[in-house]
Amino acid sequence: MYDLLKTIDNPTALRCLELRQLQPLADELRAFVLDSVSRTGGHLSSNLGTVELTIALHYVFDTPQERIVWDVGHQTYPHKILTGRRDKMSTLRQWNGISGFPRRSESEYDTFGTAHSSTSISAALGIAVASQLNSEDRYTIAVIGDGAMTAGEAFEALNNAGVCEEIPFLVILNDNDMSISPPVGALNRYLARLMSGKFYATAKKSVERVLRHSPSMLELARRLEEHAKGMVVPATLFEEFGFNYIGPIDGHDLDSLIPTLQNIRRLRGPQFLHVVTKKGQGYKLAEADPVLYHGPGKFNPAEGIKPVASSEKTYTQVFGEWLCDAAELDSRVVSITPAMREGSGLVEFERRFPKRYFDVGIAEQHAVTFAGGLAVEGLKPVVAIYSTFLQRGYDQLIHDIALQNLPVLFALDRAGLVGADGATHAGAYDMAYLRCIPNMVVMAPADENECRQMLHTGLRLDGPSAVRYPRGTGPGVAIQKQLRALQVGKGEIRRKSHASAGHRIAILAFGSMLTPSLTAAQEFDATVVNMRFVKPLDEALVRQIADTHELLITVEEGCVIGGAGSACIESLQTAGVRRPVLQLGLPDHFVDHGDSAQLLALCGLDAVGIANAIRDRFSSMA
């Protein structure tokens, strides 16, 4: 099994194969990806769709000397397997294992680290320009999906690249959202080869030179060419950016991919190759439901993914149900998502309220400002967005929402550590980057019911607010159907210490850290406060706790620097209160991928870690 694949430890070995061996290799590689992901979990549909494209790129281009930049990077498992990491795939997305995304420290073939979308063209252009300045004649390739092309950064990069006329630069649009229409056949393959060949490029330039002195004829020739190509392909848009458009071609047809890429490699100037692929290619279940198989856990490929009944609701489900309830009660409620319908729990909302559901594509900046426009006209926009993705709309959050004090509610999913997706997807910074913005209200629920009530609270406010909640399930608290607004800026004491004065400890817990804090507190008979609000902070409660306790511990599943604990210290300093404060939270380094519980333990944010930190600090004070 995998007889050919076992011989490929690097692309140099791949390039030694004969053309007739590439399709059998592709079949083995696809089978290996399916088997590997079924054992570890990870991204599947996107990787099954890029097998042939990955083989063709490494076969034609002299990697790693010639650079490939993958957009997002969740489709790079075939790339990892062909570049020396086949035997490490069993460690994928696990602690001390290989990443599910490209990572420069992992391999010289990972040209640029990615995981967020729409960065590939910008990064690849920078690499290409640097190569030119360093007098290095080599191709740079950006591979970007049709979804990622919706982001503004992609078009900013295209606009910049189009004026670099002599640079060896290729953008590949991996279009996996459309079926291969009739023009993508023998005729279109011929056109793709023709338009990528030297004859076409030379003839085109010769005609332009001849007609240059007759502007009207030159313009007529250009219009005729655009019209002729436009009947078969959507070339005009990208050629207006200064690219030579080629395609679309079948991204699973190596007999088309290889010669087309070989022809392109002989050209200079910005080239744009449009390839059409199918998510889940070669695995019927994933082809039929690429969304379900986008990022599965472990499963049996012969049986497929089986639904697992669970009485526990995830925070994402809690949000989705609340949003439907809120929309039922108030016709002004609308939802916005930047291409994360399933991930953010909006499937049912779209079904029930299609006219009030807006998926703006991978365009976080637009999503935020678009919500602002809706709010100006009296609607109640709810932006469902991952914590790590709101970072991309930070300027808009400040200038377009907070500065105008517009009532936009941000539902921040995946706040805190996210496990196997790693540092790129961790919501480590939202408490720090939100609490410094005027007019913002920032809430951190400790359980499922509190999340529901906080969302209701935020929706009723006259200014911007955010509710940050973690990935996965909560502690299992029963959810109240009735919606009840919380008093803004008020925390609650969840456990009172019975210790005598002078040796009393208090834990100020934010959000998900309440549960482990309650467990850790039992050893010390410590007071535990559910702070609830990061901003406005319950300063009166913090002052009260400081007056009656010897040592304060703040605990948050977010960065310590500038986070909620820092807010507590600032409040005490402003009030002139001097009290030892131990801040616990995420460290000042990026936390790698791994099991979520394991990562929290490594960061000292489980009950054992919190207790150990208190014990160490308390003993040093003795």
Among all residues, which ones are annotated catalytic?
Answer: 279, 364, 392
Peptide bond into 248 cis (omega under 30): yes
158 contacts: CB under 8 Å, gap ≥ 6 = 121, 171, 238, 241, 243
> For residues 396 and 352, is the Cβ–Cβ distance under 8 A?
no
By CB neighbour count within 10 A (0-12 exposed, 13-18 middle, 19+ buried), where does 300 fall?
exposed
Half-sphere exposure of 260 (CA within 13 A, CB side): 30
90: which 2 tokens? 């069993």
- The helix or strand, by DSSP H or E, that contains position 259, with its residue range, turns out to be helix 254-265
What are the two backbone dihedrals, phi and then psi, of residue 9, each rounded to the nearest 5 degrees? -100, -10
CA angle 329, 335, 337 (to 5 degrees): 160
CA dihedral 19, 24, 25, 27 (to 10 degrees): 140
Q: How far is CA 78 from CA 17, 85, 115, 117, 441, in A?
A: 17, 10, 16, 19, 44
Rounded Cα–Cα distance for residues 41 and 33 (Å): 11
Rounded Cα–Cα distance for residues 233 and 249 (Å): 10
> For residues 446 and 469, is the Cβ–Cβ distance under 8 A?
no
407: which 2 tokens? 């009532």
Q: Which residues pair with 335 in a beta bridge?
A: 357, 382
Rounded Cα–Cα distance for residues 416 and 472 (Å): 11
Rounded Cα–Cα distance for residues 273 and 143 (Å): 10
Pairing outcome for strands 533-535 and 441-443? antiparallel
> For residues 146 and 175, is the Cβ–Cβ distance under 8 A?
yes
Q: How far is CA 514 from CA 231, 430, 507, 518, in A?
A: 61, 18, 9, 6
Rounded Cα–Cα distance for residues 324 and 380 (Å): 13
Rounded Cα–Cα distance for residues 501 and 507 (Å): 16
Rounded Cα–Cα distance for residues 494 and 528 (Å): 6
